[in-house]
Amino acid sequence: MQQPRPDEPDYAFLPRRPAPERSRWGTPIELARPEDPVAREPLRINGRESRSDNPDRYRQHGFYFNADNCIGCHACETACAEKNGLPPYLAYRSVGYVEGGTWPAYRRINISMACNHCENPVCLKGCPTRAYTKYAEYGAVLQDPDICFGCGYCTWVCPYNAPQLDLERGHVHKCNMCIDRLEAGLKPACVAACLGGALDFGVIETVPENRVQCEAAIPGFPDPAITRPNIRFQQAASTPDELARPDSVPVRYVRETPGQGEHRPRPDPLKLSRRRGWGLGRLRSREDPLVVFTLATQLVVGAFLALFLGERLGLPGLGAAEALRHGLLAGLFALQTLAIALSTLHLGRPHRFYRAFNNLRWSPVSREVASLAVFYNLMGGYMVLELFPAVAAWLPAGWGAALREGLGWAATLAGPATLWFMHRIYRIPARPFWNHWQVLTAFYGSALVLGPLAVLAAWALAAAAGLAPSVPGPAQSMLGLAALAGLGLEGFGLWRHARAMRREGGLGTAAHLEQTTRFGWTYLARNGALVLAAGLVATLAWMAPTGAAAAAGWTAALFLAGAAELVGRALFYVLVIPTTMPGAFFWKNPGFQDHARAVGLARMPQVGVLERTH
């Protein structure tokens, strides 16, 4: 609990200024009335009860940043790091910049950014563990690392890169508004440290002394509509029409009409690769386990549906191939188990996995996990009853079979529902490349492609080995058609997505241009593989081969489609450009971070780049 210093200068104390009743978004700035129960509760900070008599205590507070004045001296970041005892590889507050003009008519605009303690805290809503709380006191959005299990989803949804996923400690932590200082009547440490007259703090929508603007955004700042952030800006000095970022993100900020209007993000041709490449070295990422997890889950859902519905709807030959069905069911269950294990180990703190269900009300992650848990258990129950009917022998006659059927039908609903919730995870406004319905066609498409093809390949292989009756032609046609439909769905989605991204004009376009340049050959190869897979599937479905030919054909189709899916999914994760704030030349520059890891500079902890990436 920080207390005022002896001789604490005036600038460090919270100002008292008349504030409007509502924010520019129309929401009340007063977050709790004196008669509300919450207003009678103390804050408990580090084991002490704190009751500040600040009359503004229940008003939404926020930072004020005067971009005209920021000199990029890093005092704010450093005061924050000092107070919060932060390691060099992350920061609650970071200063980046954009620059434009031609020497000597050159201008650099520094931007110091921490958490904006938003009106619509997407981190809080996205967090599956409910580690976040928006306090009525000062409107602070605080995160509790002791609850967090380190999935990092809040770092995806936040447009400002405020929550920091600490890969060393395995959890997220972030700006806490220096709530202990607020309780002591002091401004946050970063604000008190500011040397440029840039950073200030107070009740939101109030303008500090000698400042003239109260804007919701400056160049480089993401669309405030996403989260209604509690930060206000001044940027009154005239700026160049084009502003470049010093980091490697291929985005710059351009004003459509010279001298007027807002700067909008646009692809930066100077930072995009000019030659088409494979980009294979960059295809791997921290999200690799999610590539496997999503594809495996989609395959399992698709295959389960093919098996269960195929049998119920009389897919020729499937009813008779009991051993095949049983083997496949067991295999799918094992694969799903593995996929779940993989995604759990992807967490910073896997032993807290059970907290994934804490936020069913808001978090798409919670819903996905819950839905997947339901599907997994239904499918598991169905499998047990199917493989070992004796388990239900103690039930009255017929009840066991009814239970099995009920479980199966429920699983056929839960599976697609899981994929629906899974796709919701990626519909993030702060990630324009993802925020498109193509995610849904991709997820359902790959279920439709991989599921039936997995069944067909397994069936044909089993038949060739004499373990199952051969695959009848109509079964090949029907399952093949399903896979073709899936490929069509995926292709349609990809086509529309590419078109939408080209038109989007900003971060989405930049990501798509990366896809067609740096990863250009990979992208073309993936598209080609999808077309080839479609051709192969159509041929096989039409010709309905038998024996070794069927086994070889359908296995090849599965591998071809699977490879296309794998590469496509990897691209999906590595291409996305979040709406993060601009970095600097070294700090928060993804290009330098990669470089430091590659040449070994990252081995020195004081370089501020963590060697490990997962």
Nearer to another protein, 323 or 598 (CB): 598
Question: Measured between alpha carbons, how far is residue 598 from residues 80, 584, 606 in Å?
Answer: 29, 19, 16
CA angle 575, 280, 340 (to 5 degrees): 65
Closest of 99, 109, 111 to residue 237, by C-alpha? 109
Nearer to another protein, 288 or 594 (CB): 594
Amino acid (1-letter code) at residue 254: V
Nearer to another protein, 191 or 561 (CB): 191
CB of 314 to another protein, least distance (A): 48
CB of 145 to another protein, least distance (A): 8
Amino acid (1-letter code) at residue 108: R
CB of 49 to another protein, least distance (A): 9
User: Please, are residues 144 and 130 in contact by the beta-carbon 8 Å criterion?
Assistant: no
CB of 576 to another protein, least distance (A): 21
CB of 206 to another protein, least distance (A): 18
Q: Which residues pair with 104 in a beta bridge?
A: none
CB of 143 to another protein, least distance (A): 10
CB of 150 to another protein, least distance (A): 17
Structural tokens at position 356: 């994934």
Let me know how long the chain is. 614
CB of 126 to another protein, least distance (A): 14
Nearer to another protein, 101 or 491 (CB): 101
Nearer to another protein, 286 or 595 (CB): 595
492-500 long-range contacts, Cβ below 8 Å, gap at least 24?
Answer: 492/441, 493/437, 493/438, 493/440, 493/441, 493/442, 493/445, 494/438, 494/441, 494/442, 494/527, 494/530, 494/568, 496/436, 496/437, 496/438, 497/436, 497/438, 500/436, 500/438
Count how many Cα atoms sit within 13 Å of the Cα of residue 155 in the half-sphere of its side chain: 17
| Rg (the chain; Cα; Å) | 28
Count how many Cα atoms sit within 13 Å of the Cα of residue 44 in the half-sphere of its side chain: 2
Nearer to another protein, 34 or 85 (CB): 85
Nearer to another protein, 79 or 296 (CB): 79
Note if the bond before 416 is cis, omega within 30 degrees. Answer: no
> How many whole angstroms separate alpha carbon 322 and alpha carbon 319?
6
Nearer to another protein, 253 or 375 (CB): 253
Nearer to another protein, 9 or 398 (CB): 9
CB of 102 to another protein, least distance (A): 5
Q: Name the burial class of residue 254, with classes exposed (0-12), middle (13-18) and buried (19+) by CB atoms within 10 angstroms of its CB.
A: buried
Closest of 337, 308, 338 to residue 325, by C-alpha? 308
Nearer to another protein, 56 or 77 (CB): 77
Nearer to another protein, 5 or 16 (CB): 5
> How many whole angstroms separate alpha carbon 27 and alpha carbon 49?
29
CB of 20 to another protein, least distance (A): 20
Amino acid (1-letter code) at residue 443: F
Q: Residue 327 CB: number of other CB atoms within 10 A?
A: 17
Structural tokens at position 84: 């919060």
CB of 161 to another protein, least distance (A): 16
Which parts of 317-398 fold into alpha helices (H)? 322-345, 364-387
CB of 274 to another protein, least distance (A): 10
Structural tokens at position 438: 């193509």
Nearer to another protein, 184 or 500 (CB): 184
Q: Residue 40 CB: number of other CB atoms within 10 A?
A: 10
CA angle 533, 427, 413 (to 5 degrees): 65
Nearer to another protein, 96 or 472 (CB): 96
User: Residue with structure tokens 């386990």?
Assistant: 289
CB of 441 to another protein, least distance (A): 33
> How many whole angstroms separate alpha carbon 177 and alpha carbon 190?
9
- Angle between helices 399-425 and 438-464 in degrees, nearest 10: 130
